[in-house]
């Protein structure tokens, strides 16, 4: 079992993963960190736990929208993919705006 040190919001975490999955885990952590940094830019440092929960919810929302689009058969190629991503981005921005107001 391999171990990787990842950084999210400038904080180090040591995470175990299957051998050979280190690079994948590092990329996932970078994705999460990017989302957290976007939240920090919009709502400030509201606490590590809250930022991670908010980022998780935004990522889950994006994933849910993508799955729903695929299941509905609306993702019909490049044009459908672009529309799906744009819709997810708009929804994330609306959620972030609501969180900022809270």
Rounded Cα distance between 27 and 6, Å, is 9
| Tens-digit pLDDT profile for residues 71-100 | 777 545 556 677 778 888 888 777 766 665
For the CA atoms of 75, 79, 84, 87, the dihedral, rounded to the nearest 10 degrees, stands at -150
- pLDDT value at residue 75: 47
Per the structure, the complete domain to which residue 22 belongs is given by 2-101
Measured CA angle at 79 (ends 73, 83), to 5 deg: 75
Q: Is 47 strand, coil or helix?
A: coil
pTM: 0.65
Q: What is the DSSP letter of 16?
A: E
Q: What is the tally of structural domains in the chain?
A: 1
pLDDT, tens digit, for every residue of 36-68?
999 999 998 898 899 999 999 999 998 988 888
């Amino acid at each position: 079992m391999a171990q990787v040190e990842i950084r999210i919001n400038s904080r180090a975490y040591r995470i175990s993963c299957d051998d050979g999955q280190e690079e994948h885990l590092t990329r996932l952590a970078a994705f999460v960190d990017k989302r957290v940094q976007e939240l920090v830019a919009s709502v400030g440092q509201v606490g590590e736990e809250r930022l991670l929960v908010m980022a998780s919810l935004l990522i889950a929302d994006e994933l849910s929208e993508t799955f729903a689009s695929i299941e509905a058969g609306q993702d019909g190629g490049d044009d459908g993919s672009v529309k799906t991503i744009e819709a997810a981005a708009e929804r994330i921005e609306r959620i972030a705006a609501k969180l900022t107001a809270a």
